[in-house]
Amino acid sequence: MDELITRREVMVVAAGGMALSQAPAHGADRASDASEKQTSDVPVSLRVNGRALTLHVDQRTSLLDALREYAGLTGTKKGCDRGACGACTVHLDGRRVISCLTLASRCQGKDITTIEGLANGDQLHPVQAAFIEHDGLQCGYCTPGQIMSAAALIKEGHAGSDPEIREWMSGNICRCGAYPNIIAAIRHASRGA
């Protein structure tokens, strides 16, 4: 089992390690209201972006809410909470999953990569760099999910042609309609990969 850390340490990891511009993670607010909780929390130990993390989450909590509201990693976005838009895509043991349909409590011992953990330090992942170079985004809200999906798609070997990329990216909606540039970015990144 992964190293257990306290709630306070979770906050430090989240706030310090991930360049969040926002205030502390949910754990801080929840601590004072713990006595008011109606359901029992369960501890879940994960590796998130290479760091061991133990979260105490409601059994019903999705991996998406666990990342955003408990671990303070807000780069992963909630667009529909029903598995239909792809904005919350993360990697679970290297495979892309829709984190809003994944129960956090089922992720015991799993390795999670989010958009915050994709780059190697200051060096952007090739897909991130390609999205910038090809301008594969407009408003940017679906972008973390698009990029996580694209990075996995290339590893899966589904970037052979534009129609193949389009098909295997069709779970990620971009309402701004940046699809031509998203496809171009993935094509470019896949050749370099």
- Site for another protein, residues 127 to 186, rule: CB under 8 A: 128, 131-133, 135, 137-144, 147, 163, 165-167, 169-183
The site for another protein, by CB under 8 A, has a size of 74
Q: Is 41 left (phi over 0), alpha (psi -120 to 50) or beta?
A: beta
Residue with Cβ nearer another protein (1 or 16): 16
CA distances from 193 to 85, 127, 159 (A): 26, 9, 11
CB of 105 within 8 A of CB of 55? no
CB of 20 to another protein, least distance (A): 8
Q: How many residues make up the chain in this entry?
A: 193
CB of 94 to another protein, least distance (A): 19
For the segment 30-69, give every residue that binds another protein (CB under 8 A).
Answer: 30, 32-33, 35-39, 58, 60, 65, 68-69
Binding mask 80-119 for another protein (x = CB under 8 A): xxx-xx-x--------------------------xxx-xx
CB of 158 within 8 A of CB of 93? no
Residue with Cβ nearer another protein (115 or 152): 115
- What would the two tokens of residue 87 be? 């904005």
CB of 165 to another protein, least distance (A): 7
* CA 5 to chain CA centroid, nearest Å: 21
CB of 146 to another protein, least distance (A): 9
- Apex CA 113: angle with CA 111 and CA 115, to 5°? 170
